Amino acid sequence: MMKKSICLVIALLFLFGSIGIVSAESQLKQSADGKLKVAYLVEGLFNDSSQRHWQQVQNECEMRGWELIADTNVSGNYEAEPTRNAFLNMMTQEPDCIVISYLDIPPIADLIVQAEQQGIGVYCLGTDLAPGIQSNVTSDNAILAAQVMSYVMNRLNGTAKVMGFQNLWMTRGIRRDEVAFAIANSVTYDVGELVSHNVTAEGFTDEMYSVATNWLTKYGNDIDFIWACWDGGAITIAQAMAAAGYTRDDMFTVGTDGGSQAWAYIRSGELPFVASLAEAFEMQVHMAFEGINDLQVKGMKPGDSGCTIPATRIIPAEKYTMLIDETNVPAVGSNVHALYDFYGANPDDPDVWFNQGKVYTVNDYVE
């Protein structure tokens, strides 16, 4: 009986190890002099969040004296082949680590495991956790959706005739979409009709605009709110509302991300885009780089006492969020870090990490 139990345990360990649940500790490249070569990948720089990630990545490497190589135009529509090619290209340049913003993980899941086997640490911002990823700094998407929908339903006094939901295909979008829809559909609120559309990856901006226009033709002013899980989608829908002659007094959208584009529309009132849940993208990058330093300079392991990266390898960032609407939208020219007073430091202190290098300043966004 004892022999059979031992065999069963060995078999289970082999099975779980083969699918990445149980694995030996990888030996990541270590830096004796504290200097690292960092590769950075992002799908593109067409939104504020990606631009802010990229700017802070440059700041972090500059203040730490780390070498930086980057591809900031991997794939605008998250296609698998360009994503794989970009990751492979970075691996051939023998970096110590690879930092990823937003890329779709499944197409490169096997390459991430290969990178770890070569001692290259892979660290992510706002993606899914997978075998070989040392850390993922991300906000809990369910919590983000709940925060936004709480604001939406309070603004509507808990009642709506028609609400629309345009659902993203990516995992983080699906999680937000499901929670948002469930809240609107709960017995807590009085919503007459819910309509939804699953957005496809190719040409999604035009698609979202077209779907919103069709809903407006069908329901007119009965629509009170249309959901999209990020600022870009919500702004696109708000543009369709404005083109149809509606204002924020008739209906509205709310986004998630925050940045100059979103805040400019909230400030101007020209679109029925009324609010955005702002994330602290600079802090996300900083936490990722602190984790890199802990693992590949200090030689720590995830979960060690004092290590930035917990044993789960997920570094939560949802506490660094703030709902921005017309009542607290930041002024043009202000330091973005003034929003996040919970950093625990004076936003004007020149010695704190977020004032090293180029500081993101709120601008009056122009399309």
Quote the pLDDT of residue 114: 97
Q: How far apart are CA 122 and CA 116, in angstroms?
A: 7
User: Do 101 and 176 belong to one domain?
Assistant: no
Average pLDDT, the chain: 89
Answer whether residue 254 is part of any domain.
yes
pTM for the full predicted model: 0.85
Answer whether residue 225 is part of any domain.
yes
Helical segments of the chain, H only: 2-18, 48-64, 80-92, 109-117, 141-155, 171-184, 204-219, 231-243, 260-268, 281-296
User: Do 156 and 272 belong to one domain?
Assistant: yes
**pLDDT(11) > 60:** no
User: Do 288 and 234 belong to one domain?
Assistant: no
Quote the pLDDT of residue 303: 97
Whether 96 contacts 69, CB under 8 Å: no
User: Do 150 and 246 belong to one domain?
Assistant: yes
What is the number of structural domains in the chain?
A: 2
**pLDDT(256) > 70:** yes
Phi and psi angles of residue 193, each rounded to the nearest 5 degrees, phi first: -145, 140
User: Do 52 and 167 belong to one domain?
Assistant: no
- Strands 273-279, 321-324: pairing kind: antiparallel
pLDDT band at 200 (very low <50, low <70, confident <90, very high): confident
User: Do 147 and 262 belong to one domain?
Assistant: yes
User: Do 151 and 266 belong to one domain?
Assistant: yes
User: Do 121 and 235 belong to one domain?
Assistant: no
User: Do 133 and 233 belong to one domain?
Assistant: no
Q: Considering only 17-26, 170-179, 299-308, 319-328, which range has the smallest mean pLDDT?
A: 17-26
The end-to-end CA distance of the chain, in Å, is 72
User: Do 308 and 198 belong to one domain?
Assistant: no
Answer whether residue 271 is part of any domain.
yes
Q: How far apart are CA 129 and CA 94, in angstroms?
A: 23
pLDDT band at 2 (very low <50, low <70, confident <90, very high): very low
User: Do 70 and 124 belong to one domain?
Assistant: yes
Answer whether residue 101 is part of any domain.
yes
Answer whether residue 161 is part of any domain.
yes
Phi and psi angles of residue 349, each rounded to the nearest 5 degrees, phi first: -70, 120
> What percent of the chain is modeled with pLDDT above 90?
72
Could you tell me the residue range of the domain that residue 294 belongs to?
Answer: 28-138+280-319
Q: How far apart are CA 5 and CA 10, in angstroms?
A: 9
3-class SS of residue 337:
helix
Instruction: Please report, for the domain that includes residue 117, its CATH number.
Output: 3.40.50.2300
**pLDDT(241) > 60:** yes
Q: Of 248, 279, 310, which closes a domain? A: 279
Quote the pLDDT of residue 8: 37
Quote the pLDDT of residue 3: 39
Answer whether residue 80 is part of any domain.
yes
pLDDT band at 342 (very low <50, low <70, confident <90, very high): low
- What is the pLDDT averaged over residues 239-262? 96
